[in-house]
Amino acid sequence: MVTSPKLEAYGWGERWTPGFREVASSWPDAQPGRVVRHDGSAVLAVTVDGALEHLHVPPGADPPPVVGDWVALDRSAQVVVAVVPRHSLLRRQDPGTGGEQPLVANVDVVFVVCGLDRPVKPGRIERSVTLAWDAGATPVVVLTKADLVADPERRAETVRRGGPGIDVILTSATTGDGLGEVRRRCHDSTVVLLGESGAGKSTMTNALAGGDVAATGVVRGGDSKGRHTTTARHLYPLPSGGVLVDTPGLRAVGLSVDLDAVAATFADVEATAAGCRFDDCRHDREPGCAVIEAVATGALATERWENWTGLLREAEAAERRADEHERRQHERRSGRGAREAQRRKRQGR
């Protein structure tokens, strides 16, 4: 096994060696590394001796490496030769193409970061939590700027009640409150910060990394909107253990997820829905719908019911798109196969 204390600070360990050996088998000189930033046709990666190097990614690399990926690299040629099989992948719907956009690979925990200097939006938290479950990671809600509000505990309690089963950590980068808990959650893990511009992701990154590694920006006075200070995803090792990925504030969190991820986020609502009279209940106006019943009695908040059905429809649409894509790929492949066969026949082979 390849050991390297410098690489271990970036999360390297036995977990990754079989995958590395597998993809590097035809490259005797290949060394492991981890992508810390993506720069167009190159990546910035940390290497076995801890140096950060720009490496070329050959066009057509499959899959194209993303931040968080472990890769096999050829240092003399300064090129990425292969991507180690991923354990998890954070992805969203590409706002441009409607397809799937991979964001960060090999993620263990997603911090859903919300600033208390603005209203906390349950719908946005549920969306990000769903992305985390979809990735194969554990979501944790991190509320920042506790120093700016009079009743932070009450605000945290509201978020806890709104998203049952998910840990909520209250923090302030100004006073340092809650940062010990955040550090503990990062230990031995790769953690991604997801949240609106101005939520305080880069400020938290600096507090945990113990220096000004990431640029931060002020928010607008009127509506607390951020200025999109961070422009690229970047992975940092933490002196207290673990790895943190700072990300730009996402304008749109479109889902490209399977239905199981929505079910995990709304486990409480799904449990209620098990009591619906019809198996294919749309929880809309069907007779005997246990969900509508729960909304009527106040056991289930109207907003949570609406967010749930909204995300269900969105995930269904994403699955239909993926199926359609798969079908077209298949047709293209089999079309190509048929043409090949015809050509061989013409050539008398």
Helix (H, G, I), strand (E, B) or coil at 337: helix
Written as six digits, the tokens of 159 are 């978020």
198 versus 237: smaller Cβ distance to ligand GTP: 198
Backbone phi and psi for residue 341, each to the nearest 5 degrees, phi listed first = -60, -40
- The CB-of-252 to Mg ion minimum distance in angstroms stands at 17
131 versus 291: smaller Cβ distance to Zn ion: 291
Enter the DSSP assignment of 234.
Answer: E
The reply to whether 65 sits near ligand GTP by the rule CB under 6 A is no
Among 94, 100, 147, 286, binds ligand GTP (CB under 6 A): 147
Among 81, 137, 219, 311, binds ligand GTP (CB under 6 A): 219
Which does residue 218 bind out of ligand GTP, Zn ion, Mg ion, none, counting CB within 5 to 8 angstroms by kind?
ligand GTP
Among 31, 190, 202, 256, binds Mg ion (CB under 5 A): 202
206 versus 265: smaller Cβ distance to Zn ion: 265
**What are the C-alpha distances in Å from 90 to residues 111, 215, 246, 348?**
12, 23, 13, 49
Cα 298 to the chain's mean position, in Å?
33
- For Mg ion, the binding residues in 300-319 under the rule CB under 5 A are none
Helix (H, G, I), strand (E, B) or coil at 25: coil
Could you tell me where the beta strands, DSSP code E, fall in 173-304? Answer: 190-194, 234-237, 243-246
Among 162, 200, 237, 242, binds ligand GTP (CB under 6 A): 200
Which does residue 291 bind out of Mg ion, ligand GTP, Zn ion, none, counting CB within 5 to 8 angstroms by kind?
Zn ion
Which does residue 148 bind out of Zn ion, ligand GTP, Mg ion, none, counting CB within 5 to 8 angstroms by kind?
ligand GTP
Which does residue 283 bind out of ligand GTP, Zn ion, Mg ion, none, counting CB within 5 to 8 angstroms by kind?
Zn ion
For residues 328 and 348, give the distance between their C-alpha atoms in angstroms, rounded to a whole number: 30
- For Zn ion, the binding residues in 274-293 under the rule CB under 5 A are 276, 281, 283, 289, 291
Apex 40 CA angle, 233 and 107, nearest 5: 35
How does 281-318 read in b/e, with b if 16+ C-beta sit within 10 Å? bebeeeeebbbbebbeeeebeeebbebbbebbebbeeb
22 versus 212: smaller Cβ distance to ligand GTP: 212
Tally of CB atoms within 10 A around 4: 17
Which does residue 198 bind out of ligand GTP, Zn ion, Mg ion, none, counting CB within 5 to 8 angstroms by kind?
ligand GTP
Helix (H, G, I), strand (E, B) or coil at 276: coil
Cα 36 to the chain's mean position, in Å?
15
- The CB-of-111 to ligand GTP minimum distance in angstroms stands at 11
Stretch that binds ligand GTP, among 79-87, 224-232, 308-316, 321-329 (CB under 6 A): 224-232
Q: How many residues bind ligand GTP (CB under 6 A)?
A: 26
Closest among 258, 263, 290, 295 to 274, alpha carbons compared: 290
The reply to whether 230 sits near Mg ion by the rule CB under 5 A is yes
The residues binding Zn ion (CB under 5 A) are: 276, 281, 283, 289, 291
Question: Which residues would be at the binding site for ligand GTP (CB under 6 A)?
Answer: 144-145, 147-148, 172-174, 195, 197-203, 216-219, 226-230, 248-249
